[in-house]
Amino acid sequence: MRHFTIHHDGVTIPVARGGRGRPLVLCPGLNSTQADLHELAELLRSDHDVVTFDLRGHGLASAAGRYSFEAFRTDLAAVLAELRRQGPDAAPVLAGYSLGADLAVHHAAEHPGAVAGLVLIDGANPVPEPFVTEDVLPGFRAMWADQAAQQEAERGTARQVLLTAQEILDLNVEIDAVRSGILDRYRKIDLPISMIMSTSMAGDSGEGHAPRFNRNWRAGVERLVREQPHVATHWLDADHRLVFTHAPEIAQIIRGARGPAGQG
């Protein structure tokens, strides 16, 4: 394993790299860290040269004066630029979880030839309806406030998240806006794409908003595949935490993907 740091845009990004085989960059999502993705990364290292890192304000990365989709996108771009600088390896597969999947799609659309394929884990979904609407806003505010309070126990560790509840809310509203236009990004990508999606992203409760959220999630994937039938879609019987609860299954799907996204 190699550990190094990248300094850009006033923040410090910690990076870990290890394994053998085709390079694969694993991008975490909002409120997740490379430490959270440890199990998946370790499983993939038997046949991939896996690169993990933390986004600003997450894990061992430094805090920032601003948190936005564009700022996180520059963190990913800085990591990929450093990998290119280190050596003429093959273009990496870019795998992203949740927000990380959206960052991956945007990077691939804006940098043709920079990556060999995409693995999108429960993110980058062109859902037909936004998730953060007025009727659910009170519930989301309470949930993210609780989440921020629970994060106090992780301060100073590799799993810390330094964002406030309001910053998390603002980012989720921004992610809704990003996904409303993400089909345009997919149209610019000519790469193998594998999606690994949860069947019950909002949980399996038949009450409250969960059924509507889950229908919206599936409708987004169906919308994408209608327009981009080459996208390979895999569904796991899980909620949005699938990357933590179903790491072996996700690693198996990545290994089994045909073309640059896997070994075949």
Cα 9 from chain centre: 21
How high is the pLDDT of residue 256? 85
pLDDT in tens, 200-254: 999 998 888 999 999 999 999 999 999 999 999 999 999 999 999 999 999 999 9
Range of the domain at 168: 2-257
Average pLDDT, the chain: 94
How high is the pLDDT of residue 192? 96
The reply to whether 27 falls in a domain is yes
* Residues whose CB falls within 8 Å of the CB of residue 221, separated by 6 or more in sequence, listed in order: 125, 195, 197, 233
The reply to whether 264 falls in a domain is no
The reply to whether 233 falls in a domain is yes
The reply to whether 56 falls in a domain is yes
| Residue position matching structure tokens 């989301």 | 140
The reply to whether 161 falls in a domain is yes
The reply to whether 262 falls in a domain is no
How high is the pLDDT of residue 62? 98
How high is the pLDDT of residue 45? 97
Q: Whole-structure pTM over 0.85, yes or no?
A: yes
How high is the pLDDT of residue 262? 38
Please state, in angstroms and rounded to a whole number, the distance separating the CA atoms of residues 169 and 146: 12
CATH number of the domain bearing residue 172? 3.40.50.1820
Backbone angles phi, psi at 198, to 5 degrees: -85, 140
Q: Would you say the C-alpha torsion 196, 199, 202, 204 has a positive or negative sign?
A: negative
The reply to whether 52 falls in a domain is yes
Please state, in angstroms and rounded to a whole number, the distance separating the CA atoms of residues 127 and 100: 16
The reply to whether 188 falls in a domain is yes
Domain count, the chain: 1
How high is the pLDDT of residue 88? 66
Strand locations in the chain (E)? 2-8, 11-19, 22-27, 48-53, 93-97, 117-121, 193-198, 232-236
**Chunked mean pLDDT (size 10), the chain, 264 residues:** 97 97 96 97 97 98 96 98 87 97 98 96 98 93 91 94 95 97 97 97 91 97 97 98 98 77 36
